[in-house]
Amino acid sequence: MILFFADLHLGRADPATERAVEQSLLACLNTLAPQTQHLVLVGDVFHHYIEYRHLVPKGFVRFQALLARWTDRGLPVTYVVGNHDPWHQNYFAQELGVRVLHRAVVDTLLGYRVYLDHGDLAIAGPLSRALRRLLRHPVPVWLYRTLLPGDLGLALARRVTQWRPERLNPVIAERLRQHAHRVLQEKQADIVVLGHSHQAELHCWPEGLYLNPGCWYQDQTFGLLEANALALCRWTPDGLQTLIRYPLP
């Protein structure tokens, strides 16, 4: 069983709310752990994340400890960064054993070719794409870390991300859907998994399937790939709830 989570946005709210979100996430992962073969995080795991050479943002150590325990047992964890958390260096890879990716990738999971990406760059316009690429370029990132050390750099990132509105945008959801369909039509993959829209959905076309796990922070939805089916699920106080499920060939 492969698990897909997107848009956790850890660090978005007050400490009490964040602790509840983290506890719910851990309850879900611990419950599904015995059947899980691979955990995939499709971007925006953190609401703001800037890693320095000798410093990482504090918080969510219980979640990070779970990732370390899983990778120590040989269970792979893949993390495709999003637009809120692209400034990773080597902490997650070296200390937690997590495979961190900064661009789209096609992995073979349970025999299916699965296209993984957060999706923000794929649907951005020319100016937005250029700005996003600039903000991820090593030189501006180095300047930010050098000129805005530690607390100051993290505080600015927190202020900017809290100012930006986080709401459902049907235009973004439709563009992601179209992008996923193009990938499938071009035979690049059997399944496309994207995040970014905060809108959970599972679509089946003749060419393949498109999954958006949705926003865990808001709705506690996620994706689940089994040997013969792909499902969109929700975690509730009573446990796992399957929302949509499509069989696979």
| CA–CA–CA angle 233, 234, 235 (5° rounding) | 130
pTM recorded for the entire structure: 0.88
**Domains plus CATH for the chain?**
2-247 (3.60.21.10)
DSSP lists the bridge partners of residue 80 as 101
- Among candidate residues 222, 171, 218, the one with its CA nearest the CA of residue 195: 222
Beta strands 38-41 and 2-5: pairing type?
parallel
Tens digits of pLDDT across the chain (249 residues): 999 999 999 988 888 888 999 999 999 999 999 999 999 999 999 987 888 777 787 889 999 999 999 999 999 999 999 987 888 889 999 999 999 999 999 999 999 999 999 998 888 767 666 666 666 667 766 666 666 676 665 666 566 666 555 566 888 999 999 999 999 999 999 999 999 999 999 999 999 999 999 999 899 999 999 999 999 999 999 999 999 999 998
